[in-house]
Chain A
């Protein structure tokens, strides 16, 4: 789960990571008031879940509270990569002597949290990683013990010569690790970590991505979710406990299991079609989930035909059939449905569907070929 910079700043602050004072605003007047309180030039930063905010004009340096008002009114409501800006962060403009990168990710290869540190910080850290990977220092942390003081110092020595700055950076390394653990993060990042002309070391940006699996046990973290920052259909799917991603094609897909769902999308493409979505209804066989799934897929006007691909294991295919029948009674499905189901209770499922004049196929290839043909005819 992504959270906003201003939220990540609060989580960093709780661990004592040094940052510039600042606040978040939802209206231009609030932004003006914050700028007045801070005094001097400020930076206004759009709060959206997207990289490249600066390039899109969502980060601006302004001199006066009046300018803050003007620029905040431009940024609020702005679209950045399809996302509307609802909040801006207002922080003092810092004088910067150096920019570094400090990140911590859960690494699948070493199965540990891994620090990535680079003296070549700033905007294009991905480019640094791709072109000059030797400029990024990595350190895997044993999660049983956490990061040791000598490890934190070792990382800090790769960034600075001045020992006071080294000590300050080492403290930030430990604080970033604490923020990572305390908030069930999959990633915690400071880009850039800066030094100022008067020698301070500061986090100028804050990023945390929370491991979705932590949300079961940490409802407090769930409160950080911004519903306005996600595609509306994806939000509806999440609330219905469906795993859904909207794509650009016209063949709607409702599948049980992520691997089979991806393989189904691939097969749609193989037969010359274009999937409209990834949708995994999961392992449970609750008919309500099927209704919610069908509602979400049919709400996409690009969808010209819908494929159900269900391999019953834990999922009972008769429950899915009941869900399909109930859904078509609740609302009109204007596009053709192709239903493939096999596995647990399939005889009963076929009987249920035939009872309302629907057909079920048992072969995946046959079903995909058919749905692609129907989508093409409907386009």
Chain B
């Protein structure tokens, strides 16, 4: 068991013939993900690597293959249109990997996706992976993960890999790892993932990796206090970042008093979340919380 991605995932890749899309489709197939279709308008009828049929539209792909999840690798200016197309075709889970999508595009697209009843993960995210179900949607390297019972949710990419690497090296497997993305406006937030992990019988503990900027972590901490009975271990990146500067992620901007690392760490502690002072602490803290 796992959240969002599992053995029932039938994946469609939007932008399958592009540079990023084709590279990562190969990786996802290699991992064992059921990639059932690709979409690149104008290239319908082709077959990717002799395995995956390519369609002109998401609607065609869904009708032919029963795809139930879409992952998006199209360029930034076309990404919002792609995720709207996926939701419009009835896909319930849409994962947008693309970085650099204008925030106004997302502000318009997200209400549409929600109105269609779909969940969006991202944009500007590494996607998700459920090792026990061999379901990898996005770009998280499969070889650093192992099946297990810890759920992980994160705002960043490579920092996620760093933490997962620590877990796997120490024999702690993962149910699902989700990267929700570093942009200011995203489809799925910490609380959505915390709720899903709390409800997932295959998850025993949760790791939450936050960053400076915004108030998502503080809101998530309040949610943990009220609704999460499973142990949660947390980290905030950017404790030494200067104020008022953008740290690569559009989201990681501290302005005013809201969004500083101190504020977030205090919220974590007040909610009973065990706080890592450095990435390597994740192993010890998880073991301790799972023993208690």
Contact = CB atoms under 8 A, between A and B. Distances in A.
A275 interface: yes
Interface in A244-271: 245, 247, 255-263, 265-270
B279 A263 contact: yes
A164 B158 CA distance: 56
B102 A261 contact: no
B247 A261 contact: yes
Task: Categorize the interface residue count of chain B.
Answer: 35 or more
Interface in B250-265: 250-252, 256-257
B77 A256 contact: no
Interface string B138-166: 01110010000000001111111110010
A244 to B, nearest CB: 9
B107 interface: yes
B287 interface: no
A257 B280 contact: no
Interface string A137-173: 0000011100000000000000000000000000000
Contacts of A217: 76-77, 102
Interface residues of A, number: 53
B222 interface: no
Contact of B237 (A181, A243, A263, A343): A263
Interface stretch (A68-76, A109-117, A286-294): A109-117
A313 interface: yes
B184 A106 contact: yes
A214 interface: yes
A19 interface: no
B110 interface: yes
Contacts of A247: 242
A38 to B, nearest CB: 35
A278 interface: yes
A261 B241 CA distance: 10
B162 A186 contact: no
Closest 9 pairs (CB-CB, A-B): A259-B156, A258-B248, A257-B158, A259-B159, A243-B248, A262-B237, A260-B158, A262-B238, A108-B184
Given A213-B76, A259-B160, A311-B161, 6 more contacts: A111-B185, A130-B256, A211-B250, A257-B156, A259-B158, A266-B240
5 contacts: A217-B102, A243-B248, A259-B155, A259-B157, A262-B212
